[in-house]
Amino acid sequence: MSIPVQGPPSGRRQGLDLVPVTAEKGTKKEYTSDQEVRWCPGCGDYAILAAVQSFLPELGLKRENIVCISGIGCAARFPYYLNTYGMHSIHGRAPAIATGLATSRPDLSVWVMGGDGDFMSIGGNHLIHALRRNVNLKLLMFNNRIYGLTKGQYSPTSEVGKVTKSTPAGSVDTPFNPVSLALGAEATFVARTIDSDRKHLTSVLRAATEHRGAAFVEILQNCNIFNDGAFDLLKNPETRDTAVVRLEHGAPVRFGNDGEKGVRMTERGALEVVDVAEVGEDALLVHDVKHEEPALAFMLSRLGNVDDGVTPIGVFRAVDRPAYDDQVREQLEDAVRTAGPGDLAALLASGDTWTTN
């Protein structure tokens, strides 16, 4: 086959532009590989896998043009189970590997899957650089707040005081807030969702694919072996409505059993949780994923600190900025446009030359 390295003439692109589509959407079954899934029974990864396997066919892309790249960890086993192209690489480096692939192949939809250790511990640097560059990648971080594969050490997203094999007296370091970190790293698309909420998860994936550039999605994932119940508050029907804040673009930020709670900005530039009945809906913060500045999204990402246990999910930010790989390709096209395609003989003979005979 010949490799389509150049896309169509440049110009600002959308979502999955350049990735070939197919008339016949595939099925979940077609997107399921023949490899036995080897996660622990009950692991949250199963739900994510099922959601992705169902969602991908929806996109109507040619299956062979989808690539899933991962590092190492339980989550990072993901590619084996998707019947697309895939690479299970080394710990933490998947965003870098994917950057090379996405930059050289505009016709591929490139996904990066991994755990919180993979993305935020050893791979933290590659992640933040992929985000600031805005490489056209969908980065899904399965955050179980633990190292699963290595059998239960604390991770950079584990809460303070966590007792694990490596921290028998409790961990002392403040975890990253993945959404805050991504926003601080100039991410153009940042979202959070939950393994068990198939509908929400799928809607976030949809938004991520519509975004051109780096889309970072934190998926809260239960590791029932080493950190069971980490997100029970957000899942338990008794508590979830008051714990989960579902962000919707253009809508006031409300939650609670009947949307009776809301979020408002104080004069001091902080957020507070208020009683909607008391303050009125107009007083509430209206969520704006398109806000050119990430500061408000950042503020929302801290809501859990302001009101303990409250966790906003949904898309925090989704703004347009040219993707790294698109621009790199444009520079190549420009060079050819202005100076013609490369001429090897001319290159070799460039500079001062002389002839002997």
Ligand X SMILES: Cc1ncc(C[n+]2csc(CCOP(=O)(O)OP(=O)(O)O)c2C)c(N)n1
- CB–CB of 208/61 below 8 Å? no
From CA 357, how far away is CA 210, in angstroms rounded? 63
Decide if residue 45 touches ligand SF4 (CB under 6 A).
yes
Beta-carbon contacts of residue 285 (< 8 Å; ≥ 6 apart)? 252, 253, 262, 263, 264, 265, 271, 296, 300
- Ordered DSSP codes for 9-69: S-S---TTTTS-B-SS---TTTTB-SSPP-SPTT-THHHHHHHHHHHHHHTTB-GGGEEEE
Decide if residue 57 touches a copy of itself (CB under 8 A).
no
Decide if residue 32 touches ligand SF4 (CB under 6 A).
no
Residues 161-200 that bind a copy of itself (CB under 8 A): 169-170, 172-177, 180-186
10 Å Cβ neighbour count for 348?
9
Q: Which of 54, 150, 224, 242 contacts ligand X by CB under 6 A?
A: 150
Which x/- pattern over 250-269 shows residues binding a copy of itself (rule: CB under 8 A)? ---------------x-xxx
State in angstroms the smallest separation of the CB of 145 from ligand SF4.
10
Residues 304-333 that bind another protein (CB under 8 A): 328, 331-332
Residues 135-194 that bind ligand SF4 (CB under 6 A): 144, 148
Decide if residue 181 touches another protein (CB under 8 A).
no
Structure tokens belonging to residue 141: 């971080």
For residue 43, the partner it binds in a copy of itself, ligand SF4, ligand X, none, with Cβ less than 5 to 8 A by kind, is ligand SF4
CA 208 vs CA 8, 139, 142, 166, 250: distances in Å:
23, 9, 15, 35, 18
State in angstroms the smallest separation of the CB of 298 from Mg ion.
24
Residues 110-129 that bind ligand X (CB under 6 A): 114-118
Decide if residue 37 touches ligand SF4 (CB under 6 A).
no
Residues 190-229 that bind another protein (CB under 8 A): 225
State in angstroms the smallest separation of the CB of 287 from a copy of itself.
11
Structure tokens belonging to residue 310: 């409250």
* Binding range to ligand SF4, per CB under 6 A, among 105-113, 217-225, 287-295, 349-357: 217-225
Residue type, 94: A
CA 351 vs CA 148, 218, 347, 355: distances in Å:
58, 52, 9, 13
Q: Which of 37, 90, 225, 328 contacts a copy of itself by CB under 8 A?
A: 328
Residue with tokens 């979502």: 15
Round the CA-based radius of gyration of the chain to a whole number and report it. Answer: 22
* Binding range to another protein, per CB under 8 A, among 90-98, 203-211, 262-270, 312-320: 90-98
CA-wise closest residue to 137 among 182, 197, 80: 182
* Binding range to ligand SF4, per CB under 6 A, among 11-19, 161-169, 218-226, 332-340: 218-226
CA-wise closest residue to 307 among 264, 249, 248: 264
Where on the chain is the footprint of a copy of itself (CB under 8 A)?
Answer: 121-125, 128-129, 132-134, 156, 169-170, 172-177, 180-186, 265, 267-271, 285, 288, 291-296, 298-299, 302, 305-306, 321-322, 324, 327-328, 331, 334-335
